[in-house]
C-alpha cells in the first residue's frame, strides 16, 4: 500500500472543500499582478501562513508558473513542531490535499539522500508540518503532471543548509523547480517588521546567501525558513543562476488591521 501523507491543516490554513479551495486559489492568482517577466525560473520563495493572511503575497510567485512544464517541484520547509538534527526528505509515496494526491519523485529523493551525512528519508518534520502542505494547492492549480520532493529542515545550521544545497545541485535538472517556504519576522510592529524584513530582502536582491545566513544567526533579521532560502540560493549559485527579484512583501496587519504585532511575508523569484 502507498504511504500517503494526509492533509494536516485543511479547514484551518485553507478550505477543506475542494471546490471552495480551488476557487480561492484561482482568485488569489488572478488578482496577483507581478511586474516584469522572468525567464528560466529556478525557484520561488513563498510564505506559508493561512491563505487569508499570506495568500495574496504567495500568489505573486505562483502566478509566474502558469503554463510552465516543470516535472518535479522540490519544496523546502522549516520544521515548526519538532526539532531533529538533519534534513528530512519524506519517506512516503505522496502528499494529499483536498485537490488530490501528488506523488513523490522517489528517484530524486533517493539520490538526494545517498551518501549524505545529514540528508535522509524519514517522517521527521512531515507529520503535522503546514509549511510544505500549504504550497501544494497552489502548485496543483498552476501545474500539471508534476511530482514533488518535500524536504523539512530540522536544523538550519550551516552544515545542514549548505549540504542540502550541495546535494540539490548534484541532483536536480532543468525540469525541476524549487519552492522555499518561509515567513519573515514574527510579532513586531509593522514598522519594526519592515526594518527587519528589509534586511532579508536586501540579501536576496544582492544574491548574498552567506550574508543572509550570517545575519539570521546574529538575529539581525528573521525568517523561519531562512535556512531554506539560503539553501536554494546556494544551489542556484552552484548552477550559475544568480538573479533574484522580490515580487511582493506584506504583513498580517494588512489583513487584520492590527499593526502592533505582525508576521511578515514575502514572494520572490530566483531566475
Which residues make Cβ contacts (< 8 Å) with residue 91, sequence separation at least 6? 3, 121, 122, 123
Please answer whether residues 58 and 47 qualify as being in contact, where contact means their C-beta atoms are separated by less than 8 angstroms: yes
| Domain-embedded: residue 8 | no
User: For residue range 190-201, what is the model confidence (pLDDT) as tens digits?
Assistant: 999 999 999 999
* Closest residue by Cα to residue 244 from 45, 86, 98: 45
| Domain-embedded: residue 175 | yes
CATH number assigned to the domain comprising residue 52: 3.40.830.10
Backbone dihedral angles phi then psi of residue 268, each to the nearest 5 degrees? -145, 160
Burial category of 102 from C-beta neighbours within 10 Å (exposed 0-12, middle 13-18, buried 19 and up) = buried
| Domain-embedded: residue 32 | no
Please answer whether residues 113 and 88 qualify as being in contact, where contact means their C-beta atoms are separated by less than 8 angstroms: no
Report the pLDDT value the prediction gives residue 67, as an integer from 0 to 100.
Answer: 85
- Please give the tally of structural domains in the chain: 1
| Domain-embedded: residue 2 | no
**Regions of the chain short of the pLDDT cut 70:** none
Range of the domain at 83: 44-270
Angle subtended by helix axes 190-205 and 209-217, to nearest 10: 150
Helices and strands, number each (H, E), in the chain: 10, 12
| Domain-embedded: residue 172 | yes
Report the pLDDT value the prediction gives residue 167, as an integer from 0 to 100.
Answer: 98
User: For residue range 45-100, what is the model confidence (pLDDT) as tens digits?
Assistant: 999 999 999 999 999 999 999 989 999 999 999 999 999 999 999 999 999 999 99
Please answer whether residues 232 and 271 qualify as being in contact, where contact means their C-beta atoms are separated by less than 8 angstroms: no
Amino acid at each position: 500500500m502507498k504511504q500517503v501523507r494526509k492533509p494536516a491543516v485543511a479547514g484551518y490554513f485553507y478550505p477543506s472543500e475542494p471546490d471552495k479551495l480551488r476557487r480561492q486559489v484561482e482568485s488569489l492568482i488572478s488578482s496577483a499582478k507581478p511586474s516584469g517577466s522572468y525567464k528560466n525560473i529556478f525557484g520561488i520563495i513563498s510564505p506559508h501562513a493561512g491563505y487569508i493572511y499570506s495568500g495574496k503575497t504567495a500568489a505573486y510567485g505562483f502566478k509566474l508558473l502558469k503554463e510552465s512544464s516543470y516535472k518535479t517541484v522540490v519544496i523546502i520547509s522549516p520544521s515548526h513542531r519538532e526539532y531533529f538534527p538533519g534534513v528530512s526528505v519524506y519517506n512516503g509515496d505522496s502528499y494529499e490535499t483536498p485537490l488530490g494526491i501528488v506523488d513523490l519523485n522517489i528517484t530524486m529523493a533517493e539520490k538526494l539522500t545517498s551518501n549524505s551525512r545529514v540528508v535522509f528519508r524519514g517522517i521527521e518534520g512531515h507529520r503535522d508540518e503546514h509549511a510544505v502542505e500549504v504550497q501544494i494547492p497552489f502548485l496543483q492549480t498552476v501545474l500539471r503532471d508534476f511530482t514533488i520532493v518535500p524536504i523539512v529542515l530540522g536544523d538550519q545550521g550551516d552544515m545542514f543548509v549548505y549540504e542540502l544545497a550541495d546535494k540539490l545541485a548534484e541532483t536536480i535538472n532543468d525540469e525541476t523547480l524549487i519552492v522555499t517556504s518561509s515567513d519573515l519576522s514574527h510579532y513586531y510592529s509593522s514598522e519594526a517588521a519592515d526594518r527587519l524584513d528589509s534586511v532579508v530582502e536586501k540579501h536576496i536582491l544582492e544574491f548574498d546567501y552567506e550574508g543572509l545566513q550570517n545575519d539570521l544567526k546574529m538575529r539581525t533579521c528573521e525568517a523561519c525558513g531562512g535556512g531554506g532560502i539560503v539553501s536554494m540560493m546556494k544551489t542556484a549559485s552552484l548552477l550559475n543562476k544568480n538573479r533574484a527579484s522580490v515580487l511582493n512583501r506584506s504583513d498580517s496587519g494588512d489583513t487584520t488591521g492590527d499593526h502592533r504585532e505582525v508576521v511578515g511575508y514575502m514572494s520572490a523569484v530566483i531566475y
